[in-house]
Chains A and B, each alone.
Chain A
Amino acid sequence: MTTLAAPATHATHAPHAQTEPDYLRASSGILSWIGSTDHKRIAILYLTTMLAMFAAGVLIGVLMRVEQLTIGETIMKPETYNALFTLHGVIMIFLFVIPGLPAVFGNFFLPILIGAKDVSFPRINLASWWLFITGAALAVASLFTGGGAPDTGWSFYAPFSIRTGTNVSLAVFAAFVLGFSSILTGLNFITTIHRMRAPGMTWHKMPLFAWAAYATAWIQVLATPVIGITLLLVMAERFLGVGIFDPAKGGDPVLYQHLFWIYSHPAVYVMILPAMGAISEILPTFARRSIFGYAFIAYSSIAIAALGSIVWAHHMFTSGMSEVAQFVFSLLTFLVAIPSAIKVFNWTATLYKGSIDMQPPMLFALSFIFLFCIGGLTGVMQGALAVNQHVHDTYFIVGHFHYVMFGGTGFAFFAAMYYWFPKMSGRMYSKKMANASWFCLFFGFNGLYFTMLILGWMGMPRRYYDHLPQFHTLHIVASLGSFLLAAGVVLFFVTLISGLRKGDKAPENPWGGKTLEWSLGSPPIVENFHEIPTVHQAPYAYNEESGHGHAND
């Protein structure tokens, strides 16, 4: 499909013949996968689990949109709708968006990008996948056992979560186990980046995805324990009736909200930072230019991680807080927009005078910037106290965070998937199909979520299974958008599966990338490098005049 330019090696290492079998063929049998400590195989384990969960989450989302097609009951009762939005949230957040990029692409590419043969703790890496799959199984089990599927929303707000008869205990325990998995991945990545970088791979020569993974890992390590203890407390309340969050016994439910968001807001940055990292890898490759403002992008990841940890209470402006606290959190929320904007400006500057090659990953990466800007700006709007009162708990919020999580992280996930799929699988996919999937995803996405922003502004509350007549037309538009979006997701799967089954063999470097993974075979051998490379150059060393050595199909 793509005939290609010389493999880009900015590291000096002996050219090697691909005699060793690659990591996919090195051993076979199910045990060689679920017991593998190879970071690449673990990444594939995560990928398959996660895509299955993502598909389930999309299906639930579509069911909710079907329910909103007519006024009154369409296909389900209100209780079912409550359970479905809870599940949609729990599955998408804990099983897809949070672990999506770090666990899949972080696992696969972080060691390669820094020139290492594996992560620091390969066995802990495998253990964290096992914890992940256990958590996923528990989450699914919570639907069918006990008092039925949880109906609290993914945030498990007290006191409802400690009183409802549904199976909240199992669901929060599942989230606790998933959190443990996330912590282990985080500490593994931090240690790997500190200890395993190849000779010459100084901090400022690290690819930006590694920087993003580093910032993300710190948030995972420092924020996840807070939700761990909070969820344990919900269980303690349900089993022992301690009273910590129960107003009847003197407890304060607002404290629950604080503890919940102390984790869950930084978790938003666990979702978006690696996505930004992936975009920072893709843009230089397809613009044939060195990234603009490398240091700014690298350190803005750290700034986002730091500032993002102290803005949690902007989720609680209507929950009861002092005016001073509201003012401070509002100000901090505005501040966190700065490092994100720095990234957007640097990405745009990277494109300027670049030689842009509109391949599928680039299409998704550019869509990411567009959608993330809408998500980010609507977020800043909600940081303003007065606007927040107006839009609180409306579809505006739902629209906003889908722009960030799906338009941002989701599209970055698709971009990364299309970018690295040839390296991971050794196969190319059909670019026509990939472009078609982009068309459905992009237009379906905006049809669904931009409509939600408008609906929310008009006053449509979130989490209602029904709507008033004045919202009816827009609800139909949103539902139609969701069907197109779901079709795009199906096409995405079909593109990858057919690529896997009958795609052309991928060359070493199908896109003309400059980072270390493109110097390896597609797919790479078991321990990545025959010989650990020595790094001399910055990661995106494009010679801007001769950047056209790339032939298209």
Chain B
Amino acid sequence: MDTPMTDAQAHAPSEHRDDLGAKVGMWLFLFTELILFGGLFILYSAYRSMHAHAFEDAGKLLDVPLGVTNTVVLLTSSLTVVLAIAYMQRGDRRKATAFLLATIGLALTFLVIKTIEWSAKFEHGIFPGSPHLLEKGPGETLFFGLYFLMTGLHGLHVIIGGILLTVMLWWVVKGKTTQDNYVYLENAGLYWHLVDVIWIFLLPLFYLAA
């Protein structure tokens, strides 16, 4: 990013395309997303150091197999989105479409599993500010408060990412995204990897806290 690219500006902005610039912008946006979650990670570490035992106990209530399954789902979806971009670069529209569809399918799978988990928690009286949690004590309340906030915000990002990928799919099918103009697809892929990376941190912090 530090290399000045000062000779690339021969054209007016209207006719000017700067793929590297678009990616720089996307990376900056991803920083802001990381820091957005960073605030929550700071809260997590502060509260965990205050309530170490309660966090361990509360962690036992989460469904590890489902959490791990979702991790595998997301990691696979990162692979499929990379494959979609790689095939687009080679001009193979059919395979790019197929892998984008697979990615969107995996995103939906993730959301379905997440919904199953959340509803199970709700059934057990575990939801933000629930009387059951308050009875258990401040550590558990904070653990599940953060759990719902962080997985909720992450879930929101999965939904946004899914919408982005659907738009990309539409552009690939329509031919707006082509072999030599795929920077939007690439940026959507970067966003999807961010969603994946954040989950990689959420898994150990919550599911494996015990």
Contact = CB atoms under 8 A, between A and B. Distances in A.
Interface of A: 115-118, 120-122, 124, 183, 186-188, 190-191, 194-203, 221-226, 228-230, 232-233, 236, 240-244, 249-252, 255, 258-259, 262, 527, 532
From DSSP, what is the main secondary structure of chain A's interface residues?
helix
Nearest to B10: A532
Contacts, number: 138
A197 B8 CA distance: 9
B4 A221 contact: no
Contact of A226 (B38, B46, B129): B38
B65 interface: no
Contacts of B25: 120-121, 124, 187-188, 191
A221 B13 contact: no
Main secondary structure of the interface of B (DSSP, over half): helix
5 contacts: A121-B25, A194-B1, A229-B40, A230-B39, A233-B149
A249 B6 contact: no
Contacts of A225: 32-33, 35-36, 38-39
Interface of B: 1-2, 4-10, 12-14, 16, 18, 20-22, 24-25, 28-29, 31-33, 35-40, 42-43, 46-47, 50-51, 128-129, 134, 137-139, 141-142, 145-146, 148-149, 153
A229 B7 contact: no
Nearest to A111: B13
Nearest to B23: A191
A229 B12 contact: no
Closest 8 CB pairs of A and B: A250-B138, A241-B129, A229-B39, A187-B28, A242-B145, A225-B35, A225-B36, A118-B13
A545 B39 CA distance: 55
B24 A195 contact: yes
B134 to A, nearest CB: 6
Given A202-B4, A221-B32, A250 B141 contact: yes
Given A183-B32, A226-B38, A532 B9 contact: yes
A202 B2 CA distance: 12
A252 B6 CA distance: 49
B112 to A, nearest CB: 23
The interface centre, meaning the residue of A122, A233, A242, A262 with most chain B CB atoms within 10 A of its CB, is A242
A227 to B, nearest CB: 8
B191 to A, nearest CB: 14
Contact of A242 (B12, B29, B129, B137): B129
A441 B67 CA distance: 62
